[in-house]
Structure 1
Amino acid sequence: MSLPLTLISHTLCPYVQRAAIVLDEKNVPFERIHVDLGNKPDWFRAASPLGKVPLLKVGEDRYLFESAPIVEYLDETQPGKLHPQDPTERAKHRAYVEFASQILNGIGALYNARDNTGFQAATEALRTKFSHLEEHVDMDGPFFAGASFSLVDAAFGPVFRYFDVLEGFTDLGVFDGLDRVRRWRQQLSQRPSVIGAVTEDYPGLLREFLRRRESWMSHLLDLAERGERIVAMQ
């Protein structure tokens, strides 16, 4: 009998969310352990050579690290394939999982921008990436490649979740006119696996994280809490 899987997590990590979504989509029971990345325990340092989450514990002392190989492992070993069978389509999906990672980097650039100039540049860069997606998301939906939920959808659920919080205090405008992307985002926001990938206090935790950045976004959050609201793309 195989040992239960354990997902080593952090409350805000979007890459952890990918693995949690895939585990839920496949109805795989698992334990979830949260670690404090500011005070990493010794066992975590030994198990994670990059010092990052997620980790997936697959045996008494066997750990997988990095989200992409973790979700690929889950797709290969658990019933219910989320990757396409066709090799060309599968390669395309892998590329768009990486594209999601690049958008996450762009979101990091957005919330770390020190001034409005950097903030506007990061916003425009995100807009460009989502405009590209508009041409590649399935026209009829509801998911990236049509009727079937895929690893690309698992990667983008956490991406869109950021904007659910950010749009609460600033008008970024990155999805304006992008009807396919907006429909896809809405579908993912209602998916039980996406909803359940974070705790109920996620929005508040993310806002507190943003407040501590002392960045332009921190400034916008402060303004919003005082009753002012700024449109990002002008």
Structure 2
Amino acid sequence: MIKKLTLVSHVLCPYVQRAVIALKEKKVEFERIDIDLANKPDWFLKISPLGKTPVLLVDGQPIFESAVICEYLEDTQTPALHPADPLQRARHRSWMEFASATLNAIGGLYGAQDAKTFDTKAAEINSKFRQLEAELTAAGHQGPFFDGATFRLVDGAFGPVFRYFDIFDTIGDFGVFTDVPRVRQWRSALQRRPSVRDAVQLNYPDLLHAFLLKRNSEISRRMQDVAALTA
């Protein structure tokens, strides 16, 4: 029996994007409900013990945490988005955790309060991308995706990582993609993937732009400088 799936989400949450990408790749019908995390409704707090999105309701039964949601979908829906080989599957899961660590580093970048801290965080992200580049090189990566021609869950984990830079690139070159040609190629392929492209609302760039401006951080000031130059 086909179960009713409802995804409770927040419009800017990168982990929500992971779940949406998996749902779209598996061509699963689902309802999406966006909430305001600054004003969480009581019903949401009852289904989300951690108070975070995403939450997937399966016939009303809540599943929380994006990794768990993706694994549930992998267990119940086709096509498979993990490799069949156990070792390769574990490798992919490991790099999905690396994607989460990279998202944390991106949070540190846009939260940096001064130029020195900002540059340090940008260098940290470049270091992570160099580690990723080394992994792709060692694996004989030919693209377009992490595992070659087949889109996997690990690709869905990095789609939201790279999406931040669609906005960041309009602010300036932070040097995060220096000397990582395979990573740049992968990013470009994910930008064109329909499931990744459509994992956010059409006004996502405007919403992220507004969010960053309100941070009162180094990136906010750089955005204001760019706006002043183009005014």
TM superposition score normalised by structure 1? 0.95
Counterpart position of 1:112? 111
* 2:14 corresponds to 1:14: yes
Secondary structure, aligned partner of 2:225: helix
Secondary structure at the residue paired with 1:29? coil
Q: Note the alpha carbon deviations across 1:60-97, whole angstroms, 9 max, x for none.
A: 3x100000010011011001110111111111111100
Secondary structure in 2 matching 1:38 = helix
RMSD: 1.0
- C-alpha separation between the residues in 1 aligned to 2:162 and 2:106? 10
Name the structure 2 match of 1:100: 99
* Aligned with 1:183 (options 182, 185, 188): 185
Instruction: After TM superposition, give the deviation of residue 226 of structure 1 in Å.
Output: 0.7
SS of 2:188's equivalent in the other structure is: helix
SS at match of 2:38: coil
The runs of 4+ residues in structure 1 deviating greater than 3 Å are none
SS of equivalent residue, structure 2 residue 32: strand
Q: Which residue of 1 aligns with 2:218?
A: 216
Structure 1: give runs of 5+ residues left out of the alignment.
Answer: 229-234
- Unpaired segments of 5 or more residues in structure 2? none
Q: 2:168 aligns with which of 166, 185, 204?
A: 166
- Per-residue deviation, 1:2: 3.1
1:42 matched residue in structure 2: 42
CA distance, structure 2, for counterparts of residue 30 and residue 227 of structure 1: 44
1:29 aligned partner: 29
**What is the alpha-carbon distance in structure 2 between the residues aligned to residue 169 and residue 222 of structure 1?**
9
Between the two proteins, the alignment pairs up a number of residues equal to 227
SS at match of 1:177: coil
Deviations 1:212-233 (A, max 9, x none): 11100111111111117xxxxx
Quote the Cα distance in structure 1 between the aligned partners of 2:84 and 2:3. 28
Match of 2:228 in 1: 226
The aligned residue for residue 204 of structure 1 is 206
* 1:190 shift after superposition: 0.1
State the distance in 2 between where 1:172 and 1:41 align.
Answer: 38
Structure with the largest fraction of helix: 2
The aligned residue for residue 121 of structure 2 is 122
- State the alpha-carbon separation in 1 of the partners of residues 152 and 2 from structure 2: 26
The alignment partner of 2:39 has SS state of coil
